[in-house]
A and B are shown apart, each in its own frame.
Chain A
Amino acid sequence: MATKVNVEFDLVTSAGGNLGSISRTLTRMQVPFRLVGNENAPDGSRPIILPGVGAFGAVMKSLKENDFDQTIVKLVRAGTPFLGVCVGMQVLFDESEEAPGVKGLGLISGKVLKFKEGKVPQIGWNQIKPSNDQSWESGYVYFVNSYYAKPDSDSVTLYKSDYHETFCAAVKTGNITAFQFHPEKSGEMGERLLRRWVNDVT
């Protein structure tokens, strides 16, 4: 089933949490990757995947060690394909209600806000619908989040979803793609979305 992927991917290890799940999913999908971090920085020759679970402030703090955040910003601005997952999506923005005063990577302008209604965090499968590019399929994916990104411009929104309000579930702009949900925990739909991104950047 899987087309062979010849490009190796850079999976960032310095942002905690769900690294294990992503790495297992890439292995299952036969996508080769190496682990990168402060000690072993990416050089832009490979697409970068930034998973992230936990608090915005903690993830940013970990990224800022040894100015690793600057490396990421520089490479992404230079055009390296980038995929952010969960908090790995949120840190792309300017700031978050979760950590007032902590600056995000600022690669996409906008803020990260907290859900105002319903049980928080949102836990479970929610439906996502493509916002601009209808070639992306609709379906159900697995979320665990108390916060969501609100881009200043709707044009970067790839997917929308509803949790007592409509929120941005994924973004795509230039070489940056990011999912608020967990594609690695979203069954076949999640694997198809990851596969599409992998195919797009290789």
Chain B
Amino acid sequence: MMSLNGLCKRIIPCLDVANGRTVKGVKFQNLRDIGDPVELGFEYQKQGADELMFLDITASKEDRSTVFDLVRDVAHKLSIPFTVGGGISSIKDVRKLLELGADKVSINTSAVNRPELIEEIATACGSQCCVVAIDARKRTNTFNGSVWEVLTKGGSVATGMDAMQWAEECVRRGAGEIMLTSWDADGTQEGFDLEMVKAFSKLPIPVIASGGAKDPQSFVDVFSTGRADAALAASIFHDGIFTINQVKTQLNQEGIPVRLC
């Protein structure tokens, strides 16, 4: 049957933010300053980013004011949706971020620690603004295929939880989207973890694939083979190796629906 679906695959640049500045490192180590997140976000919007992700990686309680200021500034300048993540653990934080202009929040460790937070956000603010980020790495191969384990606290804690079961629980509790980061692929720039993305893209809510973006072809793969709904990347855009437009041009040539600007 002919596909009657015009919904575009989304490209989402991710900006790691510490103390109000965009930083870059591998697995949150050896961070260096790469600029003003508002300006960088605006540049990505001009390049054709479909959404933006701001991940506050310092997110200690005393530094929350910098992320609030950032959200306010981004919301005034940008006209595309953006998500804020990092250190969000209460519905109060969520309300404040949405009021300041964030479209969605992303929760990770705090959801694992207290899964009810997902329901609280979905009930109070709607599922559409609740993104659950899952960091996972491959644990074992079984007769039924691969199994992935949930990691928390920036990859430092192995929880022993099955990532697929956790993702399904997130859906039941009202998550609007799953942002899935492969800890095996993250920071490697060797391509997305297609096996993992493909397994999770069967979930009934959109899946944003993250970790391993390499080149325009890697995005083609994550959408065609991996069947992801969206793909997130940091380094290849920050380093100026490829522009978002270059990635989208190739996706378009391969027949994958994208928004061309």
Q: Which A residues are within 8 Å of any B CB, using their own CB?
A: 17, 20-21, 24-25, 27-28, 53-54, 118-127, 140, 142-144, 161-166, 182, 184-188, 190-191
Contact in complex: A124, B79 (CB < 8 Å): no
Indicate if the CB atoms of A166 and B4 lie closer than 8 Å. Answer: yes
**Nearest 7 A-B pairs (CB), nearest first?**
A140-B259, A125-B259, A162-B6, A127-B6, A125-B8, A162-B4, A144-B128
A21-B103, A119-B206, A166-B4 given as contacts; is B76 within 8 A of A125 (CB)? no
B75 within 8 A of A: yes
The complex places the Cα of A199 from the Cα of B204 at a distance, in Å, of 41
A142: chain B residues at CB < 8 Å are: 80-81
Contact B205 A119 (CB under 8 A): yes
Q: Which residues of B contact A123 (CB under 8 A)?
A: 128, 176-177, 206, 229
Chain B residue numbers with a CB within 8 Å of A25 are: 79
Secondary structure at the B interface, as helix, strand, loop or mixed, is loop
A24, B5: Cβ atoms under 8 Å?
no
Given the interface pairs A21-B101, A188-B79, the reply to whether A124 lies near B230 with Cβ below 8 Å is yes
Q: List 15 A-B contacts (CB under 8 A).
A: A27-B76, A28-B79, A119-B205, A121-B176, A123-B206, A126-B8, A140-B259, A162-B4, A163-B7, A164-B4, A182-B81, A186-B80, A187-B45, A187-B79, A187-B261
| B214 proximal to A (CB < 8 A) | no
Contacts of A184 in B (CB 8 A): 79
Task: Kindly state the separation between the CA atoms of A165 and B261 in the bound complex, as whole angstroms.
Answer: 25
Contact across chains for B79 and A190 when beta carbons are under 8 A apart: yes
Is residue B154 contacting chain A, with contact meaning CB distance below 8 A?
Answer: no
Q: Point out the residue from A21, A124, A127 that lies within 8 Å of B206, measured CB to CB.
A: A124
Q: Contacts A20-B75, A184-B79 given: A124-B128 contact, CB under 8 Å?
A: no
Interface residues on B, range: 20 to 34
* Complex CA distance for A182 and B103, rounded to whole angstroms: 11
Please give me the residue from chain A that is nearest to B9 by CB atom. A124
CA distance A143 to B80 in the complex (A): 11
**Contact check: which of A28, A120, A161 meets B76 at CB < 8 Å?**
A28
Highest count of chain A CB atoms <10 Å: which of B5, B75, B100:
B5
Known pairs A21-B103, A53-B126, A143-B7; list 5 more (Cβ under 8 Å).
A20-B98, A27-B76, A127-B8, A187-B79, A191-B79
- The distance in angstroms between the C-alpha atoms of A182 and B230, with both chains bound, is 19
Report whether B101 and A185 are in contact in the complex, using a CB–CB cutoff of 8 Å.
no
B50 on the interface (CB 8 Å rule)?
A: yes
CB distance from A147 to the nearest CB of B (A): 12
Q: Does B10 contact A (CB under 8 A)?
A: yes
Taking CB atoms, residues of chain A closer than 8 Å to B177 are: 123
Q: Which residues of B contact A166 (CB under 8 A)?
A: 4
Cβ-defined contact, A124 with B101, below 8 A: no
- Name A122's contact: one of B7, B81, B99, B100 (CB within 8 Å): B7
Most buried by A among B6, B9, B206: B6
Q: How far is the CA of A112 from the CA of B6 in the complex (A)?
A: 20
Q: Would you give the shortest CB distance from A167 to chain B, in whole angstroms?
A: 10
Question: Which partner residue on chain A sits nearest B207 by CB separation?
Answer: A119
Residue from A20, A120, A121, A162 in contact with B5 in the complex, judged by beta carbons closer than 8 Å: A162
**Which residues of B have CB within 8 Å of A28?**
76, 79
Q: Per-position contact with A for B1-25: 1 when CB-CB < 8 Å, else 0?
A: 0001111111000000000000000
Collect the chain A residues with CB atoms within 8 Å of residue B10's CB. 124-125
Q: Which of A20, A122, A124, A186 lies at the interface centre, i.e. has the most chain B CB atoms within 10 A of its CB?
A: A124
Question: Which residues of chain B in 120-171 are interfacial with respect to chain A, using CB atoms and an 8 Å cutoff?
Answer: 126-128
Q: Chain B contacts of A119 at CB under 8 A? A: 204-206, 229
Given A20-B98, A119-B205, the answer on whether A185 and B103 have CB atoms closer than 8 Å is: yes
Are A187's CB and B80's CB within 8 A?
yes
Q: How far, in angstroms, from A187 to B82 measured CA to CA in the complex? A: 12
Contact A140 B8 (CB under 8 A): yes
Question: B97-127, CB under 8 A of A: which get 1 and which 0?
Answer: 0111101000000000000000000000011
